[in-house]
Amino acid sequence: MTVGGTTGIENGDRPVSEAGGGSSRAPGRPGQEVAFTARDQYVDAVAEYRHGGFETCADLCAVDYLTHPGRTLPDGVHPERFEVVVNLLSLSQARRVRLRVQVPESDATVPSLFDLYPGTEAMEREVFDLFGIVFEGHPDMTRILLPEDWEGHPLRKDYGVGRIPVQFKGAPGPR
Amino acid sequence: MSDPTSNSPSDRADAPDAVPDTVLAPPISGDQFLMPAPGGSTEGLAAETSEGPQELFRRGETDPSQLRREVGAVLRLPEGVAIDPSNIDIEQTDDETMIINMGPQHPSTHGVLRLMLELDGETVLRTKPVIGYLHTGMEKTAEELTYVQGSTNVTRMDYLAPLHNELVLSLAVEALLGIEMPPRSDWIRMLMVELNRVSSHLMWMATNGMDLGSTSMMIYGFREREMVLAFFEKTTGLRMNHNFIRPGGTAADLPDGWEDDVTVICDTVLARTAEYDELLTGQPLFRQRSEGIGTLSAEEALALSLTGPVLRSTGVPWDLRRAMPYLRYDEVDFDVIVGTYGDNFDRYSIRLNEIRESCRIIRQIVEKMPAGDYRVQDKKVTPPPRGRIDESMEALIHHFKVFTEGFKVPEGEVYVAVESPRGELGCYLVSDGSPKAYRMHIRGPSFVNLQGLPLMMRGGLLADAVAVCSTIDPVMGEVDR
């Protein structure tokens, strides 16, 4: 489907065989509806879905594609480092749609969906906390899971793992 | 984010009982906003435990426009929508209100949930949940684990419904792999997750009873849950964190005589729910403390993305098992329980009746369980049977490779959601074609449902705050991940 400047593809962005009675029982496989939208049309596209019967925003998360740049994208979508993924849910139509927005590293900001779906409040804070993507217009853009003085955004792919001592406030340093 | 702690420490300093004699760290010098408390000094502690701007600010320290915005944010509603403007008590001054902390060590917060409550006398005006005390970076850990190891990680998130977590990850991996599951594995999974729903709701009945002062209910709930856990131990070897449902099927077949065990569990639990009715449902004290408390409308619940019993209590018949069936839920007969008023009592009745519906499903599973494999016979995903390892070198190598290197999953993304006891449990899985997940995001129902708390608490009494928090049924392991 095509909605207000979004490039849409049905059934996911890779060929999915829907044959076989057993296999189609995995949820999400039949009809994973994915749409791509540019960042400047993002809020308008979501608003169009909002008025088109998608009553609730089920999920909002981000992916850092730093170490996986060659992912499969439809024509016309320029890959950027970050991708914000919004899962909208229509209860009346029992249908999900997934919107993917490319967010460049140099300007990691996205408009907030708070006015359309207030339920994205905590999810956007989580993405900000773990990825450092700022949601413009969000009423309370603070960290949510990590302490306020935490350095870095752990779910970024260039955030080191394993060798960083756990940060405790006021703890004595290494000997 | 400068001057982060300018609001709160003085509130906590008001409570002289909470003042420890020892100070954990030297006080920060030159901190003008830390008030000395009678009987000791809390500066170090207050600074150490501060969450900065994540906390709830006092009214006097925010200008009206900011406050208006914050009222909107803290109530989790856009400005001017669904709130009566006269209801936003912006004119209220700090002399009349007080901000107190409930948690993170409060027993009724069911874990390490910290609620900052703004009180006007006994009435709750604003509430802000401050979370993250149990954050262990499990989504980051998942990127370091193979898909075989992945279920050991996710099972620790929602520790009251571990099998649902394993299920959602397994379904996501299988959707990317595009493998066809044998029918028996679907039915075994359904049996296990429905039993898990019973045990989780029983646990909720127990803790909710305790929050409302019924210690008998607490003992009863734990007693019945123990039966389910004993069956889990028999089947999976563990009482929790089972790692039983894995990508490609289950870890083992059901033990001999499982039909009898499960039937006994159903019979006993159903008989005991009648006792709960007598103990709680019809009891005037319980009803007075739950009816009309913490109400929510369907529009508000949908706007705040709430799911599960919290959403169904408002009258929205949304259950993923019915609306978007997975496994074999379209082949069993069950009712979706909905409420009317969206209050605590509705949420209680929904969970009580969902226990009964789950028992109904379990009985049908006992009748319909097909014979066959409990895991997919796909050599790429499934290790060879134990017996073959002793006689075949290839089988040994294959077994070794599955458990050390894991198996490769085709590139792609998938979002899968199941109905956990708390609501929509989703998994967004991104694969780059390697044996490790490139990104695994879990949409935790409690994390999202907590957003309803400020709205449900608003205008209620402090004594009911404990009960309202309980009926959301947050599991902090999943909230913080």
3-state SS of chain B is: CCCCCCCCHHHHHCCHHHCCCCCCCCCCCCCCCCCCECCECCHHHHHHHCCHHHCCCCHHHCCHHHHHHHHHHHCCCCCCCCCCHHHCCCCCCCCCCEEEEECCCCHHHCCCCEEEEEEECCEEEEEEEECCCCCCCHHHHHCCCEHHHHHHHHCCCCCCCHHHHHHHHHHHHHHHHCCCCCHHHHHHHHHHHHHHHHHHHHHHHHHHHHHCCCHHHHHHHHHHHHHHHHHHHHHHCCCCCCCCEECCEECCCCCCCHHHHHHHHHHHHHHHHHHHHHHHHCCHHHHHHHCCCCCCCHHHHHHCCCCCHHHHCCCCCCCHHHHCCCCCHHHCCCCCCCCCCCCHHHHHHHHHHHHHHHHHHHHHHHHHCCCCCCECCCCCCCCCCHHHHHHCHHHHHHHHHHHHCCCCCCCEEEEEEEEECCEEEEEEEEECCCCECCEEEEECHHHHHHHHHHHHHCCCEHHHHHHHHHHHCCCHHHHHC
- Give per-residue pLDDT as tens, B56-70: 777 666 655 555 555
In the three-class reduction of DSSP (H, G, I as helix; E, B as strand; rest coil), residue A85 is classed as strand
Please report the pLDDT score of residue A69 as a whole number: 76
Name which residue leads in pLDDT, B72 or A112.
A112
Q: Is the pLDDT of residue A9 over 80?
A: no
In the predicted structure, residue B25 carries a pLDDT above the cut 50: no
Q: Which residue of B has its CA nearest to A65?
A: B438
What pLDDT shows up at residue B363?
93
For tokens 């209680």, the residue is: B348
Q: Is the pLDDT of residue B173 over 70?
A: yes
Rounded average pLDDT over B385-403: 85
Of the ranges A159-168, B111-120, B256-265, B388-397, the best mean pLDDT one? B256-265
pLDDT at A100 over 70: yes
Structural domains in chain A, CATH included, are 6-12+29-136 (3.30.460.80)
Percent of residues, chain B, with pLDDT higher than 90: 31
- Identify which of A16, A27, A144 has the shortest CB distance to residue B132: A144
- For residue A21, the model assigns a pLDDT of 30
Taking the Cβ of residue A61 and every Cβ of chain B, the question of whether any pair is shorter than 8 Å is answered with yes
pLDDT given at position B403:
86
Bigger pLDDT: A44 vs B97: A44
Q: What's the pLDDT at B170?
A: 92
User: Is B73–A121 a contact, with Cβ atoms under 8 angstroms apart?
Assistant: yes
Tell me the pLDDT band of B313, cut-offs 50, 70 and 90: very high
In a mutagenesis test of the A interface, which of B2, B297, B328, B415 is the best target, namely the one with the most A β-carbons within 10 Å?
B415
Q: What is the pLDDT of residues B211-220, one digit of tens each?
A: 888 888 889 9
Query: What's residue B117's pLDDT?
Result: 84
The model's pLDDT over B434-447, given as tens digits with 9 standing for 90+, comes to: 899 999 999 999 99
More confident residue, B39 or B419: B419
In which residue are the tokens 């319909």 written? B368
pLDDT recorded at residue B410: 87
Q: What are phi and psi of B76, to 5 degrees?
A: 60, 40
Q: Which residues face A7 on adjacent strands?
A: A36
Average pLDDT over residues A65-87: 84
Calculate mean pLDDT across residues A91-110: 89
Determine the straight-line distance between the first and last CA of chain B, rounded to whole angstroms. 25
Q: Which of residues 138-167 of A touch B (CB under 8 A)?
A: 139-140, 142-149, 154-155, 159, 161
Look over chain A and give the mean of its residue pLDDT values, rounded to a whole number: 77
- Show the tokens assigned to B448: 């999202």
**pLDDT tens figures, B141-160:** 888 889 988 889 999 998 89
- Of B267 and B458, the structure prediction assigns the larger pLDDT to B267
Alpha carbon distances (Å) from B143 to A161, A163, B140, B173, B328:
11, 16, 5, 14, 30
Closest CA to B453 of B115, B35, B79, B207: B115
pLDDT of residue B75: 53
The residues near B154 (Cβ < 8 Å, ≥ 6 apart) are B138, B142, B165, B166, B168, B169, B427, B440, B442
**B165-177 average pLDDT score:** 91
pLDDT at B91 (0 to 100): 53
Q: What percent of chain A clears pLDDT 70, i.e. is strictly above it?
A: 74
Q: Is A117 on the interface with B (CB under 8 A)?
A: yes
Instruction: Decide if domain B138-374+400-443 falls under CATH 1.10.645.10.
Output: yes
pLDDT beyond 50 at A20: no
The answer on pLDDT for B401 being more than 90 is no
Q: Report the pLDDT averaged over residues B9-22.
A: 43
pLDDT band (50, 70, 90) for residue A62:
very high
Per the model's pLDDT, the better-predicted residue between B266 and A31 turns out to be B266
> Are the C-beta atoms of residues B302 and B311 closer than 8 Å to each other?
yes
pLDDT band at A15 (very low <50, low <70, confident <90, very high): very low
pLDDT value, residue B23:
42
Q: Measured between beta carbons, which residues in chain A are less than 8 angstroms from residue B175?
A: 26-29
pLDDT digits (tens, 9 = 90+) for A136-174: 888 778 888 888 888 888 888 888 766 556 666 676 665
The structure tokens 């608490």 sit at B457
Which residue of chain A is at minimal alpha-carbon distance from B53? A142
Candidates A43, A141, A131, A127; CA nearest to A88 is: A43
Mean pLDDT, range B121-133, rounded to an integer: 84
Distant-in-sequence, close-in-space partners of B250: CB < 8 Å, separation ≥ 6: B185, B188, B189, B192, B244, B374, B375
Tokens 């590293």 correspond to: A105
B275 contact partners, CB below 8 Å, separation of at least 6: B220
Instruction: Collect all residues with Cβ–Cβ distance below 8 Å to B140 and sequence separation of at least 6.
Output: A154, A155, A159, A161
Nearest-Cα distance to chain A for B48, in Å, is: 6
Query: pLDDT over 70 for what percent of chain B?
Result: 81
Report the chain B residue with the minimal C-alpha distance to residue A17. B178
Name chain B contacts of A17, Cβ cutoff 8 Å: 178
Task: Give the pLDDT confidence of B269-309 residue by residue, as tens digits.
Answer: 999 999 888 888 888 888 888 888 888 888 888 888 899 99
CB contact under 8 A, A121 and B447: no
Poorest-confidence range of A110-114, B105-109, B313-317?
A: B105-109
Q: Per-residue pLDDT for B231 more than 50? A: yes
CATH 1.10.645.10 in chain B: give the residue spans.
138-374+400-443
pLDDT of residue B192: 93
- List all residues of chain B from 85 to 114 with a beta carbon under 8 Å from chain A: none
pLDDT of residue B39: 46
On whether the CB atoms of residues A41 and A10 are closer than 8 A, the answer is no
Q: Which sign, positive or negative, has the C-alpha torsion B247, B248, B249, B253?
A: negative
CA-to-CA distance for B186 and A26, rounded, in angstroms? Answer: 10
A23, B179: Cβ pair inside 8 Å?
yes
The verdict on a CB contact (< 8 Å) between A123 and B448 is yes
